[in-house]
């Protein structure tokens, strides 16, 4: 046989195609095999990052993607599936899965430093700020919550929790915890707001964080230990017996 050299092409055209990264969000339910064979796709399993060439399935969002700033202080999920994030000076932002919508003092926020966020069972977004006090967003406008105690909620709202009864708890920097009961009748003469401090059993008046246990009790982390609220009173968590830690 005779070997013949291959003829070089007169021109080279770049092949065009598309590479799609498969993640948990876009993994198909089925895999089609031509001509008409359909087999169930296996559950999506992220690649072991220790393997060479593995791709981490984590998306990082920054100001390049629409965030007002990269310093994020807190976040919450509303009942419509929207994610809300509070920033350290850029107000709040809402992520709908595609883009960010930003809100700040120009839109009615009392302060752009956001320490805590919570969407309650009624769909209201409660916003705890650093120096502007408490604010509520009902989907249409921002409204500051002002109490007769001028220094109370202005101390900085570090954490917000909604309990099983729909009551809202607000931890502050230096004024303990404020409790708001929306079910309080407006004609009762009671504002529905109550304040708990170290004199009422809190370890301290500077509250860093709070959590709701499965038994309905409220746990508060302060600068001087952890306190638990149950049976209408705060007690030192170290002396509190409970099966509802999580």
What token pair was written down for 12? 């080279």
What token pair was written down for 111? 């302060």
Residues 6+ apart with CB under 8 A from 131: 111, 113, 154, 156
Instruction: Name the 3-class secondary structure at 107.
Output: helix
pLDDT at 245 over 60: no
pLDDT at 9 over 90: no
pLDDT at 240 over 80: no
93, 102 Cβ separation under 8 angstroms: yes
pLDDT at 22 over 60: no
- Which pLDDT belongs to residue 25? 64
Residues 89-118: what's their mean pLDDT? 95
Q: For residue 98, give the H/E element and its range.
A: none
Instruction: Report the mean per-residue pLDDT for the chain.
Output: 79
pLDDT at 15 over 70: no
CA distance 139 to 117: 14
- Which pLDDT belongs to residue 68? 94
Look up residue 154 and give its DSSP letter: G
28 or 76, higher pLDDT: 76
Identify the band that residue 21 occupies on the pLDDT scale cut at 50, 70 and 90: low
The lowest-confidence range among 89-98, 139-148, 187-196, 205-214 is: 187-196
Residues 135-155: what's their mean pLDDT? 78
Residues 190-205: what's their mean pLDDT? 88
In the chain, what percentage of residues exceed pLDDT 90? 54
pLDDT at 128 over 90: yes
- Which pLDDT belongs to residue 220? 95
SS3 per residue for 21-86: CCCCCCCCCEEEECCCEEEECCCCCCCCCCCCCCCCCCCCCCHHHCCCCCCEEEEEECCCCCEEEE
DSSP state string for 193-226: EEEE-GGGT-S-SBEEEEEE-TTS-EEEEETTEE
246 or 131, higher pLDDT: 131
pLDDT at 77 over 70: yes
Identify the band that residue 49 occupies on the pLDDT scale cut at 50, 70 and 90: low
Residues 6+ apart with CB under 8 A from 212: 161, 162, 163, 164, 218, 219
- Which pLDDT belongs to residue 1? 43
- Which pLDDT belongs to residue 179? 92
In the chain, what percentage of residues exceed pLDDT 70? 68
């Amino acid at each position: 046989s005779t070997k013949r050299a291959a003829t070089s092409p007169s021109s080279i055209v770049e092949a065009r195609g598309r590479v799609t990264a498969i993640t948990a969000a876009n993994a198909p339910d089925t895999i089609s095999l031509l001509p008409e064979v359909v087999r169930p796709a296996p559950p999506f399993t992220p690649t072991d990052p220790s393997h060479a060439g593995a791709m981490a399935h984590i998306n990082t969002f920054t100001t390049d993607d629409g965030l007002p700033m990269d310093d994020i202080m807190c976040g919450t999920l509303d009942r419509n599936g929207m994610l809300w994030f509070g920033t350290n000076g850029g107000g709040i932002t809402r992520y709908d899965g595609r883009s960010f919508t930003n809100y700040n003092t120009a839109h009615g926020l009392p302060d752009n430093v956001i320490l805590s966020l919570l969407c309650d069972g009624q769909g209201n977004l409660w916003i705890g700020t650093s120096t502007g006090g408490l604010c509520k967003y009902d989907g249409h406008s921002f409204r500051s919550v002002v109490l007769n105690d001028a220094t109370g909620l202005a101390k900085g709202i570090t954490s917000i929790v909604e309990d099983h009864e729909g009551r809202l708890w607000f931890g502050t920097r230096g004024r303990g915890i404020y409790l708001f009961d929306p079910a309080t009748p407006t004609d009762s003469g009671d504002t529905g707001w109550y304040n708990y401090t170290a004199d009422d059993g809190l370890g301290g008046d500077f509250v860093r964080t709070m959590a709701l246990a499965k038994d309905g009790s409220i746990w508060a982390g302060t600068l001087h230990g952890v306190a638990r609220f149950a049976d209408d009173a705060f007690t030192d968590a170290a002396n509190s017996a409970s099966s509802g830690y999580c």
